Structure 1
């Protein structure tokens, strides 16, 4: 819950922290790919691993040292992903074999596309919104976890009282 409160109160700091954490991940992933590329003899994927490694190292370092501009780029990437996800859902809504109602997929696809367009149109606000909602969700998750713990403890007390009787 504390993380949720802090993330909601300081969404800019939360977002910058998330970008830096992602940058550290990308950096470690890039270094790992480079190590794999040069440790395998005659690997057919050597060039792909080198390319992936270099991109990972550069992206990671950029995110760590330029988190605000990296954050905008990540928001753009997320927006593009949301649009692609929406288009995919719309296409699947008109597939021949469906296990769920078409209208649900159509509405879902439209909402994904709208969210993507909003991210692309204003990536800075989108990034802050993601940080704020992450904080709100973490707070609610904390409340639910505490509630579940209290309910479990109560259930266990009742069960042990029943066993003792």
Structure 2
């Protein structure tokens, strides 16, 4: 999960919460405004939550269906994380970019051979979640400017636990793996929803604080 370093100031654009941009804007600035909006975080959370609900509601799907669904999830989340990277400071973008690449590569591996073994699918998902959780927890601890760092750290810890569980306790059947992945996706999605709404509250406070400041002297 990639969260902007601090709420965007109204001077740099309340459009950060709406994703609107001026004509001819720099693409990097456009992506920064989009990735820094709470609606982008909300979209990422829903992209995690919806596949989890589908897996829990349909646990008897074949391994082929499971691999395709997980592969699509990883590709979509990789796209969300790539855009969100631009909301970070330039010197802090590399970890998020590497994480986005990891998601895309993992998604391609799942879709390239959807008939792979349960152990291989567990390995791919487990590694992705473990690395994601560690980087998210590190960001929460190292970046003091982040609002609601406790929620973000909880998301990272949950990702670490999910990765360790999937790697250490490989499922014996496609049904067991489907239920396990579905459960973790729902839990991660719920936590990411909390982060998205916490970020919306931080953005609104930033706008309110700015409007309450006295106007600068001419």
What TM-score bracket applies, with the shorter chain setting the length? 0.3 to 0.5
TM-score, normalised to structure 2's length? 0.33
TM-score, normalised to structure 1's length? 0.42
Q: Which structure is higher in helix share?
A: 1
